[in-house]
Amino acid sequence: MVEQLTLVNENNGHVVALAGNPNVGKSTVFNQLTGLKQHTGNWPGKTVGIAEGTVEHEGEFYCLVDLPGTYSLSSNSEEEEVAQDFIQSEQSVATICVCDATSLERNLNLVLQIMQMSDKVVVCINLIDEARKKGIHINIDKLQSLLGVPVVATAARQNEGLDDLMVALSDVVVGDIKMNPYMKEALASLSDDPEENTKALLDRATVIADDVIELDNEDYNRRDRKLDKILTQRATGLPIMILLLVVVFWFTIQGANVPSDALAKMFSTIGDYLNQFAHYIHMPEWLRGALIDGVYNVLSTVISVMLPPMAIFFPIFTLLEDFGYLPRVAFNLDSFFAKAGACGKQALTMCMGFGCNAAGVTGTRIINSPREKLIAIVTNNFVPCNGRFPILISIITMFFVGSSVTLGNSLKSAFMLAAVVILGVFSTFWISQLLSKTILKGIPSSFTLELPPYRKPQVGSVIVRSIFDRTLFVLWRAMVVAAPAGLVIWVMANIMVGDQSILALITDTIDPFARLMGLDGTILMAFILGLPANEIVIPIMVMGYLSKSTLFEFESLDQFKQLLLDNGWTWLTAANTILFTLYHWPCSTTLMTIYKETKSHKWTWVSFLVPTIMGIVVTMLTTFLAHLFNLV
Ligand SMILES: Nc1nc2c(ncn2[C@@H]2O[C@H](COP(=O)(O)OP(=O)(O)OP(=O)(O)O)[C@@H](O)[C@H]2O)c(=O)[nH]1
Ligand SMILES: [Mg+2]
């Protein structure tokens, strides 16, 4: 029995499945038609769940369901099963099969499989603009008559042909146009044996593709192949990857510095006015303290520290994603992951982790083997997410580089940040290997990761999209957490038990343990209270120190460094804080996502404990060694 999907379908529209191979533009078609914002990008396997949205066409409502991409419908993976079940179910009245015009033959294979299951199919030949550019001509009319179902050419990103697609869809759904009966018979009369059937469909797809395609130039993929040679060869692939990492970080650090300072100054000026206003209206001191010293200060630090780097990092990352670089990263790292007994696709989920570890964990659904999926989930936290970058950047800059903004300094910071990230990547390999040798034993499965064609990213829309969909989203999430956290910490710093505040009491209690790790009670406390979001670790640290020495305005890194030095920081404290930022528990959102993905308390705990224990051990070790050799 096929399990039904729960759809909202609020307008009670005709339910239509949107299926196709991975990375052919299904979500782009979906987004254009429904006005929604499913994740799109140039690598196979982005859509992992199910999204639905409504389109209206000539007074009729259609409920489109964006399915994960599948190469076939033979239920090899969770995602294929979802797609197959849905297409076959009574729920969907028709299927739009989206195809990549630049690799029609393989796509037609899936079209034919779908046509065997349902006789209401519209074929959408997408990416037609790319095909044109490569000199691939497809005779759409002929294809339509050979397939016996409506065929429409589209360039979804440019919104070309989508009206025609809706007309064809309404012909099929409302006009009740079915597949050509001869075709239906031909497909039904293929063999009952699944293997022979698959082969027959493949043959047929080849024949049809040969019949409708005309090439200007047989060698249309030459440029891609040349570029791939450089980007994925052993000798050049890895160095270019590391170089790119440094360049991206350098842009982020260099670019973020000035706006960060400007924002901090602006917030501090506004803070002064707010204070004056509070005095003017005779606001009670406890309320003023809670609102301005607590909520407002934490919020403004979070914004000024986080917004500029994110607004630079996310767009660059998205540009690389749309260009098609991420699958090349996976390709380059594949052998390392194989050696570690894990899956090469883990490189993709690792890349997603740079933005947000929770997103990376959800992304692990592209990994078919449950064992390898768990490895990817447990180790995802080893790449620092966007909430942790600001901590790393500011401490590296203050303690190891020098805070004046010069080209050399920002380059040095970028190198060090890249080194920390590479350390995280190596830790991913080590821990993956450890897991696959111990609690997650097994042989790594083989898979074919497709290298999609390079696509020219649309710079303007990428910037807009990454700022609105990602930057502001992440910032908003951080702020929602930061405001109450600011309040809580202010209250803790101001409620006295005896002659000590609660905050001081707790930090003093955990201080001895933190010292063993080369940290102090306040730092460890900031990490603990930062469980809801790493973004608030720095503001909490600042408030923790301030509750001892007041009169501080976060206007520049130099002042911040002074505050830290006054509280006994040395280079060792800084180094350990960096290490602990890299290795500690995932934030609560990520933990919740891990639980949702694994449905297991045990694996959620493992994901919590592995990086945490590693962080404690590593920092204790560096502290021990530093003291042993009298380095501090
Ligand atoms: N040039 C061009 N690019 C397109 C077109 N449609 C989509 N793209 C790009 O192709 C890439 C893949 O698009 P998606 O919509 O994410 O593909 P998908 O089929 O949903 O992919 P999965 O969910 O991973 O299976 C993105 O970078 C899109 O911007 C098009 O018509 N022309
Ligand atoms: Mg998609």
Which string of DSSP letters, residue by residue, matches 393-418? Answer: HHHHIIIII-SS--HHHHHHHHHHHH
**Separation in Å, CA 571 to CA 384, 396, 401, 592, 624:** 21, 10, 11, 35, 14
Alpha helices, H only, 118-174: 128-133, 140-147, 162-173
pLDDT at 2 over 60: no
Q: What is the pLDDT of residue 69?
A: 87
Q: What is the pLDDT of residue 3?
A: 56
Q: For the chain, how big is the Rg over CA atoms in Å? A: 28
Which listed ligand is nearest to 41 at the C-alpha?
Answer: 1
Range 117-126 average pLDDT: 94
Which listed ligand is nearest to 25 at the C-alpha?
Answer: 1
CB 590 within 8 A of CB 606: no
Rounded to the nearest whole angstrom, what is the distance from the C-alpha of residue 101 to the centroid of ligand 1? 12
Query: What would the pLDDT profile of 435-491 be if each residue is shown by its tens digit?
Result: 999 999 887 777 777 788 898 888 888 888 888 877 888 788 788 888 888 888 888
Range 572-595 average pLDDT: 96
Residue 624 pLDDT class (50, 70, 90 cuts):
very high
Q: Which of 1, 45, 39, 38 is nearest to 347 (CA)?
A: 45
CA atoms within 13 A on the CB side of 80: 14
Complex ipTM more than 0.95, yes or no: yes
Residue 556 pLDDT class (50, 70, 90 cuts):
confident
Rounded to the nearest whole angstrom, what is the distance from the C-alpha of residue 330 to the centroid of ligand 2? 19
pLDDT at 551 over 60: no
Give me the phi and psi of 122, to 5 degrees please: -115, 130
Rounded to the nearest whole angstrom, what is the distance from the C-alpha of residue 75 to the centroid of ligand 2? 18
> In this prediction, what percent of the chain has a pLDDT beyond 70?
97
Query: What would the pLDDT profile of 151-182 be if each residue is shown by its tens digit?
Result: 999 999 999 999 999 999 999 999 988 889 99
Rounded to the nearest whole angstrom, what is the distance from the C-alpha of residue 29 to the centroid of ligand 1? 8
Q: What is the pLDDT of residue 1?
A: 40
Residue 383 CA to residue 162 CA, distance in Å, equals 39
Rounded to the nearest whole angstrom, what is the distance from the C-alpha of residue 220 to the centroid of ligand 1? 20
Range 87-94 average pLDDT: 89
Q: What is the pLDDT of residue 4?
A: 65
Q: Which of 77-86, 243-252, 523-532 has the lowest mean pLDDT?
A: 77-86
Pocket of ligand 1, beta carbon within 6 A: 20, 22-28, 40-42, 44-47, 69, 126-127, 129-130, 155-157, 322, 455
Nearest ligand 1 atom to the CA of 324 is 27
Write the DSSP assignment of 302-365 as a string of letters: HHHHHHHHHHHHHHHHHHHHHHT-HHHHHHHHHHHHHHTTS-TTHHHHHHHHHH-HHHHHHHGG
Q: Which residues pair with 64 in a beta bridge?
A: 16, 53
Residue 364 CA to residue 214 CA, distance in Å, equals 39
Q: What is the pLDDT of residue 421?
A: 96
Q: Which of 396, 397, 321, 307 is nearest to 354 (CA)?
A: 321
Q: Which of 25, 8, 26 is nearest to 17 (CA)?
A: 26
pTM: 0.84
Nearest ligand 1 atom to the CA of 46 is 24
Which listed ligand is nearest to 162 at the C-alpha?
Answer: 1
Nearest ligand 1 atom to the CA of 456 is 1
CB-CB neighbours of 49 under 10 Å: 12
Q: Which of 27-36, 282-291, 402-411, 493-502 has the lowest mean pLDDT?
A: 402-411
Range 559-576 average pLDDT: 93
Most confident of 253-262, 346-355, 571-580: 571-580
Closest residue (by CA) to atom 4 of ligand 1?
Answer: 157
Q: What is the pLDDT of residue 68?
A: 86
Burial class (CB in 10 A: 0-12, 13-18, 19+), 456: exposed
Which string of b and e fits 218-232 if b means at least 16 CB within 10 Å? eebeeebeeebeebb
Q: Which of 512, 632, 510 is nearest to 572 (CA)?
A: 632
Nearest ligand 1 atom to the CA of 24 is 19
Residue 31 CA to residue 70 CA, distance in Å, equals 19
Q: Which of 366, 397, 384 is nearest to 597 (CA)?
A: 366
Q: What is the pLDDT of residue 469?
A: 77
Query: What would the pLDDT profile of 273-285 be if each residue is shown by its tens digit?
Result: 999 999 999 999 9
Rounded to the nearest whole angstrom, what is the distance from the C-alpha of residue 22 to the centroid of ligand 2? 7
Residue 314 CA to residue 354 CA, distance in Å, equals 9
Q: What is the pLDDT of residue 552?
A: 52
Burial class (CB in 10 A: 0-12, 13-18, 19+), 441: exposed
Ligand 1 pocket: which of 48, 50, 100, 157 to mutate (most atoms within 8 A of CB): 157
**Separation in Å, CA 277 to CA 271, 280, 283, 288:** 10, 5, 9, 10
Which listed ligand is nearest to 450 at the C-alpha?
Answer: 1
Q: Which residues contact 569 (CB under 8 A, 6 or more apart)?
A: 399
| Ordered strands of the 51-57 beta sheet | 51-57, 60-66, 14-20, 94-100, 121-126, 151-153
Residue 554 pLDDT class (50, 70, 90 cuts):
low
**Separation in Å, CA 182 to CA 110, 160, 189:** 19, 31, 11
Range 490-494 average pLDDT: 85
Rounded to the nearest whole angstrom, what is the distance from the C-alpha of residue 311 to the centroid of ligand 2? 24
pLDDT at 86 over 70: yes
Give the long-range contacts of residues 48-55, CB within 8 A, separation 24 or more.
48/79, 48/362, 48/363, 48/365, 48/366, 49/362, 49/365, 50/5, 50/82, 50/86, 51/27, 52/7, 52/8, 52/9, 54/9, 54/10, 54/11, 54/13, 55/13, 55/166
Closest residue (by CA) to atom 9 of ligand 1?
Answer: 25
Closest residue (by CA) to atom 2 of ligand 1?
Answer: 127
pLDDT at 59 over 50: yes
Residue 619 pLDDT class (50, 70, 90 cuts):
very high
pLDDT at 549 over 60: no
Rounded to the nearest whole angstrom, what is the distance from the C-alpha of residue 46 to the centroid of ligand 2? 5
- Residue 4 three-state SS: coil
Ligand 1 pocket: which of 24, 26, 28 to mutate (most atoms within 8 A of CB): 28
Write down the residue that tokens 């990602």 correspond to: 470
Average pLDDT, the chain: 90
Q: What is the pLDDT of residue 553?
A: 59
- DSSP H or E segment with residue 614: helix 601-628
- Residue 136 three-state SS: strand
CB 580 within 8 A of CB 517: yes
Give me the phi and psi of 233, to 5 degrees please: -75, 145
Q: What is the pLDDT of residue 188?
A: 86
The two three-digit tokens of residue 139, written as one number? 């005779």
Query: What would the pLDDT profile of 20-53 be if each residue is shown by its tens digit?
Result: 998 999 999 999 999 988 888 887 878 877 889 9
pLDDT at 75 over 80: no
CB 238 within 8 A of CB 332: yes
CB 436 within 8 A of CB 375: yes
Residue 155 per-residue DSSP state:
B
HEC string of 163-212 equals HHHHHHHHHHHCCCCCCCHHHHHHHHCCCCCHHHHHHHHHHHHHHHHHHH
Residue range 14-215, CATH number:
3.40.50.300
Residue 160 per-residue DSSP state:
B
Q: Which of 184, 185, 201 is nearest to 193 (CA)?
A: 201
Range 232-242 average pLDDT: 93
pLDDT at 350 over 50: yes
The domain limits of the chain are 14-215, 234-628
